[in-house]
Amino acid sequence: MAAGGGSNYWEDLRKQARQLENELDLKLVSFSKLCTSYSHSSAREGRRDRYSSDTTPLLNGSSQDRMFETMAVEIEQLLGRLTGINDKMAEYANSAGVPSLNAALMHTLQRHRDILQDYTHEFHKTKANFLAIRERENLLGSVRKDIESYKSGSGVNNRRTELFLKEHEHLRNSDRLIEETISIAMATKENMTSQRGMLKSLQSKMNTFANRFPAVNNLIQRINLRKRRDSLILGGVIGICTILLLLYAFH
Q: CA 17, CA 11: separation in Å to the nearest integer?
A: 10
Listed in sequence order, the residues at least 6 apart from 46 whose beta carbon sits closer than 8 Å to its beta carbon are: 137, 140, 141, 144, 172
Cα separation, 60 vs 48, in Å, equals 13
Structural domain includes residue 97:
yes
Note whether residue 235 is domain-resident: no
Instruction: Identify the pLDDT of residue 15.
Output: 93
142 located within any domain: yes
pLDDT by residue for the chain (251 residues), tens only, comes to: 545 556 788 899 999 999 999 999 999 998 888 878 776 565 555 545 444 444 443 434 567 788 888 998 999 999 999 999 999 988 888 875 655 567 788 888 899 999 999 999 999 998 888 888 888 877 766 666 656 665 555 555 567 777 878 888 878 887 788 888 888 878 887 877 888 778 777 777 766 766 666 666 677 778 888 888 888 888 888 888 888 888 877 76
Q: What is the pLDDT of residue 147?
A: 61
**CB neighbour class for 24 (10 Å; exposed up to 12, middle 13-18, buried from 19):** buried
Tell me whether residue 67 is in a domain: yes
Rg (CA), the chain: 34
* Residue spans of alpha helices (H) in the chain: 3-48, 59-93, 102-154, 159-212, 214-250
Q: What is the pTM of this model?
A: 0.49
Range of the domain at 78: 8-44+60-152
Half-sphere exposure of 43 toward its Cβ, with a 13 Å CA cutoff?
16
Total residue count of the chain as it appears in this document: 251
pLDDT reported for residue 206: 65
User: Does some domain include residue 157?
Assistant: no
Q: Is residue 37 part of a domain?
A: yes
Residue 96 forms part of a structural domain: yes
Give pLDDT, residue 161: 76
Which pLDDT score, from 0 to 100, does residue 2 have?
47
The CATH number covering residue 124 comes to 1.10.132
Domain annotation covers residue 1:
no
Rounded Cα gap, residues 130 and 42, in angstroms: 12
User: Total domain count for the chain?
Assistant: 1
pLDDT reported for residue 58:
40
